Structure 1
Amino acid sequence: MSTTPSPVAGTSPSAGNASSAGQGAAAAPGAPRDGILSAEGIAALAQAGGILTASPFAADQIQPASLDLRLGARAWRVRTSFLPGASRAVSACVARLSFHEIDLRPGAVLETGCVYIAELQESLALPETLAAAANPKSSTGRIDVFTRVITDRAEAFDQVEAGYRGPLYAEISPRTFPVLVRTGSRLSQIRFRRGTVRLRDDELVALHARSPLVTAAAPSFHGGVAVSVDLAGFDGLIGYRAKRHTGLVDVDAPGRHAAAEFWEPLPADGSGSLILDPGQFYILASKESVQVPPDHAAEMVPFDPLVGEFRVHYAGFFDPGFGYAGAGGTGARAVLEVRSRDVPFLLEDGQIVGRLVYERMEAVPRMLYGAGAGSNYQAQGLKLSKHFA
Structure 2
Amino acid sequence: MTGVLPCQTIESLIARGAATATTPIAPDQVQPASLDLRLGRRAWRVRASFLAGAEHSVARRLEDLAMHEIDLGPGAVLEKGCVYLAEIEERLDLPGEISGVANAKSSTGRLDLLTRAVTDGGTEFDRIAAGYRGPLYAEICPRSFSVLVRPGQRLNQIRFRRGQAVLTDAELAALHDSARLVAGGPAVIDGGLGFSVDLRRGAGERVGWRAKPHTGLIDLDRLDHYDPAEFWEPLAARDGRLILDPGAFYILVSREAVHIPPDFAAEMAPYLAMVGEFRVHYAGFFDPGFGHAGAGGTGARGVLEVRCHEAPFVLEHGQTVGRLVYERMAERPERLYGAGIASNYQGQGLKLSKHFRAA
> Shorter-chain-normalised TM-score: which range?
over 0.9
User: Over aligned residues, Cα RMSD in angstroms?
Assistant: 1.1
Q: Single out whichever of 225-234 and 329-338 deviates more from structure 2.
A: 225-234
What secondary structure does 2:51 align onto?
coil
Displacement after TM superposition at 1:59 (Å): 3.5
Listed as ranges, the gaps of 5+ residues in structure 1 are 1-32
Query: Which fold has the larger relative contact order, with Cα–Cα distance below 8 Å and residues 6 or more apart in sequence?
Result: 1
1:153 aligns with 2:107: no
What secondary structure does 2:155 align onto?
strand
Displacement after TM superposition at 1:108 (Å): 0.5
CA distance in 1, matches of 2:201, 2:74: 42
1:246 aligns with 2:215: yes
Matches within 5 A, 1:103-114: 103-114=71-82
CA distance in 1, matches of 2:71, 2:230: 28
1:256 match: 225
1:144 aligns with 2:112: yes
Q: Give the alignment partner of residue 369 of structure 1, picking from 334, 337, 342.
A: 337
Q: Give the alignment partner of residue 50 of structure 1, picking from 3, 6, 18.
A: 18
1:278 match: 246
Matches within 5 A, 1:72-151: 72-151=40-119
Displacement after TM superposition at 1:371 (Å): 5.9
Identity over aligned pairs, percent: 61
What secondary structure does 2:108 align onto?
helix
1:215 aligns with 2:205: no
What secondary structure does 2:354 align onto?
coil
CA distance in 2, matches of 1:323, 1:276: 29
- Aligned residue pairs: how many? 356
CA distance in 1, matches of 2:251, 2:338: 22
TM-score (norm 2): 0.97
TM-score (norm 1): 0.90
Amino acid at match of 1:178: S
Displacement after TM superposition at 1:278 (Å): 0.6
Q: What are the superposed Cα offsets for residues 54-88 of structure 1, whole Å, 9 maximum, x if unpaired?
A: 21122311100000000001000000001111011
Q: What are the superposed Cα offsets for residues 207-230 of structure 1, whole Å, 9 maximum, x if unpaired?
A: 111111111553111110001000
Maintained 8 Å contact 2:185/2:256: no
CA distance in 2, matches of 1:108, 1:370: 32
Maintained 8 Å contact 1:328/1:372: no
Maintained 8 Å contact 1:229/1:352: yes
What secondary structure does 2:96 align onto?
coil
What secondary structure does 2:8 align onto?
helix
What secondary structure does 1:186 align onto?
coil
Q: Single out whichever of 372-381 and 181-190 deviates more from structure 2.
A: 372-381
1:291 aligns with 2:259: yes
Maintained 8 Å contact 1:371/1:378: no
Displacement after TM superposition at 1:372 (Å): 4.2
1:71 match: 39
1:268 aligns with 2:237: yes
Structure 1 residues 319 and 86: CA distance shift in structure 2, 3 A: same
Displacement after TM superposition at 1:302 (Å): 2.8
What secondary structure does 2:183 align onto?
coil
Q: What are the superposed Cα offsets for residues 288-307 of structure 1, whole Å, 9 maximum, x if unpaired?
A: 00000001011111332112
Displacement after TM superposition at 1:250 (Å): 1.3
Name segments (4+ residues, structure 1) moved above 2 Å: 371-374
CA distance in 1, matches of 2:311, 2:192: 27
Matches within 5 A, 1:264-343: 264-269=233-238, 271-343=239-311
CA distance in 2, matches of 1:81, 1:381: 33
Maintained 8 Å contact 1:302/1:353: no
1:170 aligns with 2:138: yes
1:352 match: 320
